[in-house]
Amino acid sequence: AQSVAQPEDQVNVAEGNPLTVKCTYSVSGNPYLFWYVQYPNRGLQFLLKYITGDNLVKGSYGFEAEFNKSQTSFHLKKPSALVSDSALYFCAVRDGGGYQKVTFGTGTKLQVIP
Amino acid sequence: DTGVSQDPRHKITKRGQNVTFRCDPISEHNRLYWYRQTLGQGPEFLTYFQNEAQLEKSRLLSDRFSAERPKGSFSTLEIQRTEQGDSAMYLCASSPTGQGLNTEAFFGQGTRLTVV
């Protein structure tokens, strides 16, 4: 069975500071990893993904994530946080073996303080 | 194309009634997914279609739930004899198929169901 853990319910960061939102995963095969963001009253929006290749992937709005196979982690990062980044962030994983089911974490609320 | 469209956006129903939700995926997206999201939780996978074929179903999809995608375009999710525990946001997503195409899913804004 595949699973995702987001250990922090909420992350607070000052505007302009770097941010990290943590994610660890478990799959039996090769992982396909995703980050989505959810703003209030809006649907989930895709930020970035790791399928294969470079461990550092870049996505929308200046976000990036680092895949670490040995630590089974896929942490989301941004060098300089904006107040508009405040939202709910979800990490997700799919087993690359062919099934389409994507398993999401419970989400981390990011609060960027002006 | 403006993205994945879901209808209605909100639904309030009495316990025991049947409800049906509709999802229109992005044009030419072969894959369609249904998820359920409750407060404080991430989306939970319910089912997946490739074209008109329902290829995966979660254990969460009890016999009161049924999903269809009859022509491989729009999909419906029906809940029969609704229970208060069915109150949630029901999300639909779609993605294209094909070697080398993006594998991420594009989500609609969801249908919020409240069972009273």
Res A44: pLDDT: 92
Inter-chain touch A44–B107, beta carbons under 8 Å: yes
Question: A11 pLDDT band (50/70/90 cuts)?
Answer: very high
Q: How far is CA B106 from CA A1, A44, B33, B93, B110, in A?
A: 24, 8, 10, 5, 12
In whole angstroms, give the CA distance from residue B16 to residue B13: 8
Res A29: pLDDT: 84
Which amino acid makes up residue A47?
A: L
Contacts of A99 in chain B (CB under 8 A): 56
Task: Summarize the confidence of residues A5-24 as an average pLDDT.
Answer: 97
Mean pLDDT, chain A, whole residue set: 93
| pLDDT, tens digit (0-9, with 9 covering 90-100), for A55-74 | 999 999 999 999 999 999 99
Res B4: pLDDT: 95
CA nearest B95: which of B36, B51, B45?
Answer: B51
Q: Which residues of A touch B (CB under 8 A)?
A: 4, 32, 34, 36, 41-46, 49, 51, 90, 92, 94, 99-107
| pLDDT, tens digit (0-9, with 9 covering 90-100), for B91-113 | 999 998 765 555 788 999 999 99
Residue B79 pairs in a beta bridge with B19, B65
Beta strands in chain A (DSSP E): 3-5, 10-14, 19-21, 24-26, 31-38, 44-50, 56-58, 64-68, 73-78, 87-95, 103-104, 108-113
Which amino acid makes up residue B86?
A: D
Q: How far is CA B85 from CA B9, B42, B47, B114, in A?
A: 19, 16, 18, 9
Task: Summarize the confidence of residues A41-62 as an average pLDDT.
Answer: 91
Q: Which residues of B touch A (CB under 8 A)?
A: 4, 31, 33, 35, 40-45, 48, 50, 55-56, 58, 91, 93, 102-110
Are the C-beta atoms of A61 and A47 separated by less than 8 Å? yes
Res A98: pLDDT: 66
Positions in chain B whose pLDDT score sits under 50: none
Res B102: pLDDT: 56
